[in-house]
Amino acid sequence: MHSSAIPIWFFIGVLLTAYGVLILAYGLYELSTGIMAVQNYHASVWWGALMLLVGLFYLIRFRPSRANS
Amino acid sequence: MFELVPAYLAAGLPSLTAAFAGTGASLAHLSLLDIAVIAIYFVMVIWIGFYLKGQANTSEEFFMAGREMTAWIAGLSFVSANLGSLELMGWAGSSYQYGILAAHWYWIGAIPAMLFLGMVMMPFYYVCKTHSVPGYLKLRYGQGSSFVAAVSFAFMTVLMSGVNMFAMAEVMKIVLGWDLNFSIIVSSLAVAAYVALGGLRSAIFNEVLQFVLIWGGAMLVPILGLIETGGWSGFKARLAQNIATGEVLGGDYTHMWRSMGHFADNPMGIHWTGIVFGLGFAISFGYWTTDFLVVQRVLAANSLRSARLAPVIGSFFKMAVPFIVILPGLLGLVVLTNANGSHMQLVGENVVKDCARSASGGAPVNASLCSTDLATTAVLPATQQAVLAGTGDVQLHSYNEVLPLMMVRYLGPGLLGLGITALIAGFMSGMAGNVSAFTAIFTYDIYQPHIVKHARDEHYVLVGRIVTIAGVVISIGAAYAVRNAPGIMDYVQALFSFFISPLLGVVLLGMFWKRATKAGGFWGLLIGTLTSIGLWAWVYFYPPALRYVALSPDAKGMAENMYRALWSVSTAVGVNVIVSLFTKPKPLSELASVVYGVTPLPTEEPVPLYKNEWFWTAIAIVIFFALNIYFW
């Protein structure tokens, strides 16, 4: 990669973290109000949490300062 | 190329946009959260484009991503370039219709060719430092065949980009109710911005992003479907029950090879020889090893080892794609329900079209035609009556709508936006892939050798940026041309398929036979292509000719595509051999780095087993056979 490049994995981390936060937050709201989409099995909670975790991992692992070092 | 099914495979499958054309209200309604998810994606791609602008200053950086891609990035981009949204939806629909047979296009129709590219062909592409497949032809056969390949590829690529754009806009209109012009303008502006700014690197980054989004957005559907049906065995039990009650047409939906003994034994009308030699060799090898759109991604790798590993890494994900494409289609056979709770039965697009209601709703406009069509389907009598009566709780949907329908069933707010974003990302990166390949081919293989030969490097980068914009503008023109004359789409798909298989014959012979000559390559490519066009025209204008092309009176459209590819590659090889034997070959000194036997391959440093490309190839082969045996 370019010496000063932000790796693609960092961008993926940003995207997954943003999506994870939004979807998990909605899932928790859904859980608290008892609403559930048809056959959804509260997927927003566990899928959102999974995306958030993976996103955070990539965000930290490939953060620019670390990638450049 | 074309993502309903890449053009080389498209014949015989229903047109997705035609399938959507007859439906009524939009399938999904987005919440504010869904819109936020989509908006974040657009912000991200533009950010990537602007960020990468500073890394696309030289022609090597702009057109070849600086040849700095790791094996993982090149591999994911390689497989992602072929993972467009129309392909996902088209094959999900096919699996609803034909069962797991559709997985042939992901396994035997891809894996052997991908591994062959990585292990056998990649060293030659990589060592000769070509920028493109026509560039390789120039080194091996000279300017004639290279120019023919470059012009045909550039022309077809930009047309396919337009077809892709139109198809996306049409699907978004039907699935989400979005205005056609809005979809075309927003997507083209985004693609033009990020490819013109960041070049191939930007296209590749977005393909990797798309890859993650497709898995993140689509994987939940089969997971939730399997939870609902009680796993694979639970699904099979429910499917057997639905077949017994007549809700699903009888047939073997869960085995891949058992019904391949005769053309008449399977709903696709294909024989195993067509699958193995036509799809598994002529079509698949042609596409995966000579189509510059995919090969360009691997050429951007940072070392020979990465270039060889990239298709191998891609092959593992390719083998997994049926999980998010074929499985949702199969699950749709048992889980989809109408608004009144009855089992939803999807039908062909002609039935949906003939049963279309007027804008105000109610009974079908042409009730008698609709009734006749419905009588030919497995739709239950009660459902037929509901359709004909125009009650609002039963709506007809076509096979190709199965994936959006499954998304709507399982994905709530936010997750639905993620699924739709995955589809949009698939469309846009397909378009970006076409445009970036077009830009490289035009600049390197047409502009540089024939128009301005010795300009400064900055000049070619500027030309690349301008050609990118021009490519998008031509694509928009093509999209509107297709809108005004939908039949063009079928011709464009057929046109592209004419070139791929003969090109395979010429490239393979050039790479592995020192005796192949410039004239042999040119005439092989030309006559192989003419054979393909001739066979297509024969069947198009005289459909009974299919029995001769596909060698059976029971053959169907898809078999024609496979055997046509087989005959055209055979012709290209045969003509190349004969003409080469009667013409003077190039001296061996001129063949160094492009032909097997006279190309010294660089010795690679030993690496641990887990980093060795041969080790992973062996694993991929074992998994490939295991999957085929398990679903035999």
Nearest chain A residue to B67, by CA: A1
- The pLDDT, as a whole number, for residue B538 is 93
Judged by CB atoms closer than 8 Å, whether chains meet at A15 and B55 is answered as no
Average pLDDT rounded to a whole number, residues B106-120:
94
Helix ranges (DSSP H) in B109-179:
111-116, 122-127, 133-141, 143-176
**φ, ψ of residue B267 in degrees (nearest 5):** -70, -15
- C-alpha B87/C-alpha B106 separation (Å) is 11
Judged by CB atoms closer than 8 Å, whether chains meet at A37 and B73 is answered as no
CB B110 within 8 A of CB B275: no
β-strand partners of B398: B347
Distances (CA, A) of A48 to A41, A51, B417, B420: 13, 5, 13, 16
CB B241 within 8 A of CB B253: no
Nearest to A43 among B47, B335, B415 (CB): B415
Q: What share of chain B is helix, strand, coil (3-state, %, to 5)?
A: 75, 0, 25
Chain B CB contacts of A8 under 8 Å are 73, 205, 208-209
Is B485's pLDDT higher than 50? yes
Judged by CB atoms closer than 8 Å, whether chains meet at A22 and B66 is answered as no
Query: Residue B6 — very low, low, confident or very high, per pLDDT cuts 50/70/90?
Result: very low
Disruptive mutation site among B212, B336, B416, B418 for chain A (greatest number of A CBs within 10 Å):
B212
DSSP, res B364:
E
Judged by CB atoms closer than 8 Å, whether chains meet at B44 and A30 is answered as no
Chain B CB contacts of A23 under 8 Å are 33, 37, 414-415, 418
Average pLDDT rounded to a whole number, residues B399-422:
89
- C-alpha B155/C-alpha B160 separation (Å) is 9
Judged by CB atoms closer than 8 Å, whether chains meet at B40 and A18 is answered as yes
- C-alpha B171/C-alpha B143 separation (Å) is 41
Which range, of A9-23, B107-121, B339-353, averages the lowest pLDDT? B339-353
Nearest to B410 among A8, A16, A39 (CB): A39
B209 interfaces chain A, CB cutoff of 8 Å = yes
Q: Which sign does the torsion angle of CA B507, B312, A1, B161 carry?
A: positive
**CA neighbours within 13 Å on the CB side: how many for B111?**
27
- C-alpha B581/C-alpha B67 separation (Å) is 38
- The pLDDT, as a whole number, for residue B309 is 94
Distances (CA, A) of B473 to A6, B152, B382, B468: 30, 19, 50, 9
Distance from the Cα of A23 to chain B's closest Cα (Å) equals 6
Nearest chain A residue to B54, by CA: A5
Residues of chain B with pLDDT > 70, as a percent, come to: 94
- The pLDDT, as a whole number, for residue B71 is 92
Nearest chain A residue to B414, by CA: A23
- C-alpha B567/C-alpha B214 separation (Å) is 36
- The pLDDT, as a whole number, for residue B106 is 93
Chain A CB contacts of B51 under 8 Å are 6
pTM listed for this prediction: 0.88
Amino acid at B456: R
Judged by CB atoms closer than 8 Å, whether chains meet at A41 and B41 is answered as no
Distance from the Cα of A52 to chain B's closest Cα (Å) equals 12
Average pLDDT, chain B: 85
Domains, chain B, in order of start with CATH, read 7-339+404-630 (1.20.1730.10), 349-396 (no CATH)
Judged by CB atoms closer than 8 Å, whether chains meet at A5 and B55 is answered as yes
Judged by CB atoms closer than 8 Å, whether chains meet at B414 and A41 is answered as no
Instruction: Assign 3-class secondary structure to B213-230.
Output: HHHHHHCHHHHHHHHHHC
Nearest to B392 by CA among B420, B372, B362, B371: B362
DSSP, res B398:
B
The predicted-structure confidence for A2-56, as pLDDT tens digits, reads as follows 544 788 899 999 999 999 999 999 999 888 887 665 556 888 999 999 999 999 9
- C-alpha B60/C-alpha B79 separation (Å) is 22
Judged by CB atoms closer than 8 Å, whether chains meet at B66 and A11 is answered as no
Judged by CB atoms closer than 8 Å, whether chains meet at B216 and A5 is answered as no
B41 interfaces chain A, CB cutoff of 8 Å = yes
What are the tokens at B463?
Answer: 């030309």
What are the tokens at B146?
Answer: 């290279």
Which range, of B38-42, B104-108, B496-500, averages the lowest pLDDT? B496-500
Nearest chain B residue to A24, by CA: B414
- The pLDDT, as a whole number, for residue B561 is 83
ipTM here:
0.91
Average pLDDT rounded to a whole number, residues B544-549:
90
Residues of chain B with pLDDT > 90, as a percent, come to: 32
- The pLDDT, as a whole number, for residue B20 is 45
Judged by CB atoms closer than 8 Å, whether chains meet at A12 and B40 is answered as no
Average pLDDT rounded to a whole number, residues B344-368:
82
Nearest to A22 among B37, B220, B410 (CB): B37
Judged by CB atoms closer than 8 Å, whether chains meet at A19 and B413 is answered as no
Nearest chain A residue to B411, by CA: A40
Interchain CB contacts (distance < 8 Å): A and B = 82
Is B610's pLDDT higher than 90? no
Nearest to A41 among B209, B227, B335 (CB): B227
The predicted-structure confidence for B170-212, as pLDDT tens digits, reads as follows 778 777 788 888 888 888 888 888 888 888 888 888 889 989 9
Distance from the Cα of B36 to chain A's closest Cα (Å) equals 9
Domain layout of chain A by residue ranges: 8-68
Comparing B18 with B554, the larger pLDDT belongs to: B554
- The pLDDT, as a whole number, for residue B392 is 67
Is B557's pLDDT higher than 50? yes
DSSP, res B13:
S
The predicted-structure confidence for B438-468, as pLDDT tens digits, reads as follows 999 999 889 988 898 888 989 999 999 999 9
- The pLDDT, as a whole number, for residue B9 is 39
Nearest to B73 among A6, A8, A37 (CB): A8
Chain A CB contacts of B409 under 8 Å are 38-39
Disruptive mutation site among A3, A6, A19 for chain B (greatest number of B CBs within 10 Å):
A19
Distances (CA, A) of B67 to B47, B76, B266, B339: 22, 15, 45, 53
Comparing B363 with B78, the larger pLDDT belongs to: B78
Judged by CB atoms closer than 8 Å, whether chains meet at B409 and A43 is answered as no
Judged by CB atoms closer than 8 Å, whether chains meet at A36 and B41 is answered as no
Nearest to B217 by CA among A10, A30, A41, A48: A48
Query: Residue A67 — very low, low, confident or very high, per pLDDT cuts 50/70/90?
Result: low
The predicted-structure confidence for B125-178, as pLDDT tens digits, reads as follows 888 878 888 888 988 988 888 888 888 888 888 888 887 788 778 778 777 788
B411 interfaces chain A, CB cutoff of 8 Å = yes
Judged by CB atoms closer than 8 Å, whether chains meet at A26 and B70 is answered as no
Chain B CB contacts of A48 under 8 Å are 414
